[in-house]
Chain A
Amino acid sequence: EDQVTQSPEALRLQEGESSSLNCSYTVSGLRGLFWYRQDPGKGPEFLFTLYSAGEEKEKERLKATLTKKESFLHITAPKPEDSATYLCAVQAGQAGTALIFGKGTTLSVSS
């Protein structure tokens, strides 16, 4: 069964304290791995798509990386406005199916 596991469930950082969020997956035939940010009371906001192991993408203080078993979302020198829940999702299978989501990591950054 295709599965996505995110860790930690919650992460508290001080402003400027860099860290990483983990997304491990077991799927048959990965077609893409997606990262989203979700603020309270809002829908998920797209951040990155990664398609193959070794791929990296960056956006401001965020950098996403992908291996054959997991993805990391690195947050460099975070600011309070980076506080949100970060969701990881995979699309798998030959024909392509809907995204399978992890439960997310809730990040809190204090000043």
Chain B
Amino acid sequence: GAGVSQSPSNKVTEKGKDVELRCDPISGHTALYWYRQSLGQGLEFLIYFQGNSAPDKSGLPSDRFSAERTGGSVSTLTIQRTQQEDSAVYLCASSLQHRLSGNTIYFGEGSWLTVV
């Protein structure tokens, strides 16, 4: 596609339910990133994929969060047993390769998650 595509764009879920957020990166981009942006906060790094592997999961806030990437393309971020503090915008980004020198990182529009 022309840009990074994320779905759903908005999701309201009840506390305790599981949610899945999807990211379709720009075609040919091998690096994929997930960030979280809470109200009034900066972007918080969650996880990064190079191809299908995730060399850096250091930002995942708890074991309720997981992510996978298949076929070197689409990625899914799963949040189990959601809590109200999980409410945020979840942003996905991609770049041609992880060594960003010379490679621009592009963001999607985000998935707005509200846990009630």
Q: Which A residues have a C-beta under 8 Å from some C-beta of B?
A: 4, 31-32, 34, 36, 41-46, 49, 51, 87, 89, 91, 96-104
Contacts and interface: CB of A to CB of B under 8 A. Distances in A.
Q: When A and B form their complex, which 5 residue pairs have the shortest distance between CB atoms, in order from nearest?
A: A43-B107, A101-B43, A103-B42, A98-B45, A101-B42
A83 B32 CA distance: 29
Contacts of A91: 100
B109 A43 contact: yes
Contacts of B43: 44, 87, 89, 99, 101
Contacts, number: 57
A6 B48 CA distance: 24
Contact of B91 (A34, A44, A46, A97): A44
A34 B103 CA distance: 11
B33 A96 contact: no
Contacts of A41: 109
Interface of B: 4, 33, 35, 40-43, 45, 48, 56, 59, 91, 93, 98-101, 104-110
Contact of B100 (A44, A87, A96): A96
Contact of A51 (B101, B105, B109): B101
Nearest to A100: B45
A87 B105 CA distance: 13
Instruction: Kindly name the residue among A34, A51, A101 whose own CB sees the greatest number of chain B CB atoms within 10 A.
Output: A101
A44 B107 CA distance: 6
Given A98-B56, A99-B45, A103-B41, A32 B101 contact: yes
Nearest to A97: B56
A14 to B, nearest CB: 26
A31 B100 CA distance: 8
A94 to B, nearest CB: 11
